[in-house]
Amino acid sequence: MAKVAVMKLVETEPLNSAPEAAPTIRLSNITKVFSGVVALSDVSVDIHPGEVHAILGENGAGKSTLMNIISGVLQPESGVIEFNGEVISPMTPERAAALGVSVSYQHPAVLDDLSVLENLRVALPDRVFAAGNPAEIARAMLDDVGLHVPLNARADSLTVAQKHLLEIAKALATRPPVLILDEPTAALDQDATEMLFARIRSIVAQGTAVIYITHRLAELRQIAHRVTVLRDGQYAGGALVRDVTDDDLLAMIVGRSLASAFPPKSDDANPETNFIVNGLSGRKFHDINFAIGRGQIIGIAGVEGNGQSGVMRALAGLEPWKGDVRLKGVPLSAAEVKAKSAYMPSDRHEEGIIADLTVRENATFSALDQFSTLGILSRRKELGEVSRVFGSLSVKTPGLDTGILSLSGGNQQKVVMARALMSRPGFILADEPTQGVDVGARFEIYRILREVSQSGTPVIVNSSDAAELEGLCDVVIVMSRGRVAETLRGEDVTEGRIVAAAVKAQSHVAGVGEATKAAKSAASGLRQFIQSDNATVVPLAAVVVLLGLYVFGQNANYLSAFNISNILLLATALGFIALGQTVALLMGGIDLSVGPLAGFLVVVASFFINDGQSAQTIALGFALMFLAALAVGTINGCLIRFANFTPIAATLAMYIGLQGLSFVLRDGPGGYINFAVMDTIGWKLGPLPVAFLVLVVVALLAEYVLRKRRLGWQFRAVGSHEESARRMGIRVNLVIIGGYIAVSLFTALGAVMLMVQIGVGDPAQGVNYTLASITAVVLGGTSLRGGRGTFIGTVMGAVLLTEVLNAVSFLGLSQTYQYVFQGALILAAALIYSTARRQAGT
């Protein structure tokens, strides 16, 4: 885009394009429409093997849509996709993967809760690691792209740049015939970029077809053989890179003069200053100074991630800051800054709009005070004001009480603007105001911002689009590494100057180097363990032992063989059920039905596993217990995945239903359990119940699977970030339904122990295990957010909980304490763990 950047290029390696081979991929007449907006219109492209084919274009030109059509994520409305001459219809992500299309996404599909090595192993097929020691193979992959981080570092400790490199390493690892790189260098510094280009050249030499999506003209000369330019979803031109000049390319990209479409700038040469920022510093930016005159719009520019959004969020009062902010000469406190600002977030879907509310509600929720007397709203006033503002902003909506999602992106953004204006702000912060906005609405937004500025309200715009800043702003500050690298005014506000200032300062992106060091020190033994999921085991063991000794000091019978085995036996039932609950929480769900299920299974058993029954009948009883568990788990999983129930709703309904079933089968205790069976299951080695040892072994096995097997990684991947897991090709539905079946089967094991404990089919028993199991799992240190957990910790949690409840009676305390200890324990554990995680996160 920027000529200046292009001039800097010295990379002139002769690009010996391979002789015209048959294209690997041929796209013919592709058209893609998103709810009425044409994203791609009749685009045809050939991708040849052994070439880097660059797709060039502005934001919104249709580059990523094209990529998603090739990778099967989106289906085109019309057009043909051919692979090695064969027509593929329809293209799906699975089909694309089978054909060897490998994608490095602009937003890396990296799972924060997994380690670097686990991220690679869960995303890549086993054959990649079959050749030798997986760690060494992974190390080589990372070295290939110049990513030097410990393999066991958790991915959330990586910087954005490092995550990009990891994403690229994954894409390269399968040696794919087709590699798609979507803006791979956006977060990379010079060295990393060079390294990446070297890799691309070597795989291209081996015959891979590379599709390289970028909006940087500069990189094109370095790496690409062929280029296709898209503009507003149309094919704007294509050529061999060596045959085309930069000027030609620029003309293809821009296509028209933008200048005429922007509203005229402020013509006041020396306006009165109405907004001053002096020495503003925050977490990711330092010593920012600028001043805005009446009628002026100030722009913030720079390569993404250099502190721009931090400045915006600080001025919106969303991040802490230090410094001096003056509005019309009056210094503002932090609270005043928050109250006076109106912030239009860059991520409209996350922070801008409320999807479930109507257009009107979205427009007014921050300005409601104006339509109310004593806190009570006047509907008339509200409608009047909304209609007025929508009229002046030309918001196109079928009605004020339609859902916000039925509007186009541009109109949604105008609703966000309407909200900002209605709150009568002191100043307006527009963060990427035209992202996801169609061209027509874009210029409406420029006009509105200009009008707001002319009416005397300072306007600050952050944009990654230098052309937009050139057209819109009177003053532009260019940021680099959290500081103002250059301030451009008047005639100097040109796309070229902006990009040059950003790139010149850009010789080294902050982050990669530092973070490598940080991650390395984190890797050192002890610290690594403290940050691992199993770190809770040590303090838990200490608490279990200390509590035991304390109660022993008060009452010597506490540590008698009888009591120890009693505690462990009780803990075994809870432990198995809690192991199941751990699986549910690891997947980011929850299973409320485990308690009633355990009770129900005991009731089922009480019809078969009785004294005097034949061995076959008893075996049938056990089989029925596990079959019933299997059925319950399947129903839970299917309700959640296919009927779209939340885990709470599905398992709550199951909870109520199972409780009812238990009472249908038995209206009171009855059906004594076979003594021989109870004796066998309750068998002890000294004070140690064998069943408890089985629990420990099962927990260790589960822990091994969780850490070292693909199945375990998949569970954690799904719980960590479902969308990324899906993109990696994990069959999310299958994993989650399987997970809920596992929960129920673990519960069935717990039910066997419960059966031994109570010895009779009692429909009222078992229900308490739902809350107890969640308590045990939380004590053990598994996060309810999913993705992180420990089976060993869960067993410790179950032991601790049982021990505490048991200790109360030995200390001669009333039942009050049993409850108080239980409550205090879970709250203390949750608070300690969440604090620890937060600290580890920063």
Partner 1 sequence: MANYQQTAGQGGLAFELRSLKPARGFVTVVISTLMLIVVCAIFAPSAISAGGLAGSLPFAAIIAIVGLGQMLVVQQGGFDLSLAGGVSLAVVITTHMSGGSDAQLFSSIAFALACAVVAGVVNGILVGVLRLNAIVATIGMNALLYGAVFAVSGGVPRITTPLMAQIAGGKTLGIPNSVLFALVIMLIVSFVLKKTVIGRRFEAIGANPAAAHAAGLKVQLYQAMAYVFAQLHYCVAGILISGITREPTAFQGDSLLLPSVAVVVLAGTSLLGGRGFPISTVIAAFFLNQLSQFALAVGVPFSAQTIIQALALVFGIGVYSLRWKQAATKRALKSKMEETDNV
Determine which residue in the list 84, 89, 455, 814 makes contact with partner 1, applying CB under 8 A: 814
Q: Is 316 in the site for partner 1 (CB under 8 A)?
A: yes
CA gap 419, 463 in Å, rounded: 20
Contacts of 205 (CB under 8 A, 6+ apart): 50
DSSP assignment of 631-661: HHHHHHHHHHHTS---HHHHHHHHHHHHHHH
Q: Is 80 in the site for partner 1 (CB under 8 A)?
A: no
Q: Is 437 in the site for partner 1 (CB under 8 A)?
A: yes
Q: Is 300 in the site for partner 1 (CB under 8 A)?
A: no
| Between 111 and 804, CB nearer to partner 1 | 804
Determine which residue in the list 29, 59, 634, 757 makes contact with partner 1, applying CB under 8 A: 59
Residues 736-765 touching partner 1, rule: CB under 8 A, are 763
Give just the sign of the alpha carbon dihedral 482, 483, 488, 494: negative
Contacts of 623 (CB under 8 A, 6+ apart): none
User: Which among 550-558, 640-648, 678-686, 736-744 is the span making contact with partner 1, rule CB under 8 A?
Assistant: 640-648
* DSSP SS3 for 224: coil
Q: Is 92 in the site for partner 1 (CB under 8 A)?
A: no
CA 634 to chain centre: 27
User: Which among 3-11, 158-166, 435-443, 488-496 is the span making contact with partner 1, rule CB under 8 A?
Assistant: 435-443
CA 459 to chain centre: 31
User: 């069935």: which residue's tokens?
Assistant: 748
CA gap 487, 492 in Å, rounded: 9
Cβ–Cβ under 8 Å, residues 620 and 608: yes
Determine which residue in the list 101, 505, 564, 774 makes contact with partner 1, applying CB under 8 A: 774
Between helix 116-123 and helix 134-144 the angle, nearest 10°, is: 100
Determine which residue in the list 8, 256, 322, 349 makes contact with partner 1, applying CB under 8 A: 349
288-293 and 372-373 strand pairing: unpaired
| Between 409 and 739, CB nearer to partner 1 | 409
Cβ–Cβ under 8 Å, residues 594 and 577: yes
H helices, E strands: number in the chain: 32, 26
Q: Is 520 in the site for partner 1 (CB under 8 A)?
A: no
Give just the sign of the alpha carbon dihedral 280, 285, 289, 290: negative
- The one-letter amino acid code at 618 reads I
Provide, rounded to whole angstroms, the least separation between the CB of residue 270 and partner 1. Answer: 33
Provide, rounded to whole angstroms, the least separation between the CB of residue 108 and partner 1. Answer: 13
CA gap 59, 232 in Å, rounded: 9
Question: Which 8-state DSSP code applies to residue 294?
Answer: T
* DSSP SS3 for 697: helix
| Between 371 and 692, CB nearer to partner 1 | 371
Residues 350-409 touching partner 1, rule: CB under 8 A, are 350-357, 360-361, 364-366, 368-369, 372, 375-377, 383-384, 386-388, 390-391, 394-397, 399-402, 405, 409
Determine which residue in the list 12, 35, 257, 521 makes contact with partner 1, applying CB under 8 A: 35
Q: Is 338 in the site for partner 1 (CB under 8 A)?
A: yes
Provide, rounded to whole angstroms, the least separation between the CB of residue 300 and partner 1. Answer: 17
Cβ–Cβ under 8 Å, residues 178 and 98: no
Q: How many chain residues interact with partner 1 (CB under 8 A)?
A: 116
Determine which residue in the list 439, 530, 542, 631 makes contact with partner 1, applying CB under 8 A: 439
| Between 626 and 821, CB nearer to partner 1 | 821
Phi and psi (nearest 5°) for 180? -110, 125
- The one-letter amino acid code at 817 reads Y
| Between 109 and 171, CB nearer to partner 1 | 109
Determine which residue in the list 23, 49, 60, 633 makes contact with partner 1, applying CB under 8 A: 60
CA gap 93, 63 in Å, rounded: 18
Residues 643-702 touching partner 1, rule: CB under 8 A, are 643-646, 648-650, 652-657, 659-661, 663-664, 667
Q: Is 827 in the site for partner 1 (CB under 8 A)?
A: yes
Provide, rounded to whole angstroms, the least separation between the CB of residue 90 and partner 1. Answer: 17
Provide, rounded to whole angstroms, the least separation between the CB of residue 448 and partner 1. Answer: 12
State the number of CA atoms in the 13 A half-sphere of 703 facing the CB. 18
Q: Is 318 in the site for partner 1 (CB under 8 A)?
A: yes
Residues 458-497 touching partner 1, rule: CB under 8 A, are none
| Between 150 and 793, CB nearer to partner 1 | 793
Q: Is 830 in the site for partner 1 (CB under 8 A)?
A: yes
| Between 208 and 636, CB nearer to partner 1 | 636
CA nearest neighbour of 217 among 429, 9, 462: 9
Contacts of 573 (CB under 8 A, 6+ apart): 598, 750, 751, 753, 754, 757, 769
Q: Is 262 in the site for partner 1 (CB under 8 A)?
A: no
Extended strands (E) in 166-219: 178-182, 209-214
User: 């249709």: which residue's tokens?
Assistant: 62
| Between 150 and 719, CB nearer to partner 1 | 719
Provide, rounded to whole angstroms, the least separation between the CB of residue 348 and partner 1. Answer: 8
Count of residues in the chain:
842
Q: Is 826 in the site for partner 1 (CB under 8 A)?
A: yes
* DSSP SS3 for 211: strand
Beta-bridge partners for 37: 34
Phi and psi (nearest 5°) for 610? -115, 170
Provide, rounded to whole angstroms, the least separation between the CB of residue 775 and partner 1. Answer: 6
684-685 and 688-689 strand pairing: antiparallel
| Between 48 and 340, CB nearer to partner 1 | 340
Residues 95-134 touching partner 1, rule: CB under 8 A, are 107
| Between 338 and 731, CB nearer to partner 1 | 338
Q: Is 34 in the site for partner 1 (CB under 8 A)?
A: yes
CA 601 to chain centre: 38
| Between 41 and 278, CB nearer to partner 1 | 41
User: How far does the chain reach from its first CA to its final CA, in angstroms?
Assistant: 36
Q: Which two tokens stand for residue 578?
A: 């809690």
Provide, rounded to whole angstroms, the least separation between the CB of residue 418 and partner 1. Answer: 10
What track of x and - describes contact with partner 1 for positions 585 through 624 (by CB under 8 A)? -----x----------------------------------
Q: Is 426 in the site for partner 1 (CB under 8 A)?
A: no
Residues 220-239 touching partner 1, rule: CB under 8 A, are 233
Phi and psi (nearest 5°) for 574? -60, -40
Ramachandran category for residue 302: left, alpha or beta (phi over 0 → left; psi -120 to 50 → alpha): left
Provide, rounded to whole angstroms, the least separation between the CB of residue 643 and partner 1. Answer: 6
Determine which residue in the list 785, 811, 832, 841 makes contact with partner 1, applying CB under 8 A: 785
What track of x and - describes contact with partner 1 for positions 162 through 181 (by CB under 8 A)? --------------------
Q: Which two tokens stand for residue 299?
A: 């722009």
Provide, rounded to whole angstroms, the least separation between the CB of residue 514 and partner 1. Answer: 28
Provide, rounded to whole angstroms, the least separation between the CB of residue 411 and partner 1. Answer: 9
Angle, alpha carbons 187-189-194 (nearest 5°): 115
Q: Is 784 in the site for partner 1 (CB under 8 A)?
A: yes
Residues 543-582 touching partner 1, rule: CB under 8 A, are none
Provide, rounded to whole angstroms, the least separation between the CB of residue 201 and partner 1. Answer: 28
| Between 375 and 812, CB nearer to partner 1 | 375
CA gap 400, 387 in Å, rounded: 8
Q: Is 823 in the site for partner 1 (CB under 8 A)?
A: yes
Provide, rounded to whole angstroms, the least separation between the CB of residue 633 and partner 1. Answer: 16
| Between 189 and 351, CB nearer to partner 1 | 351
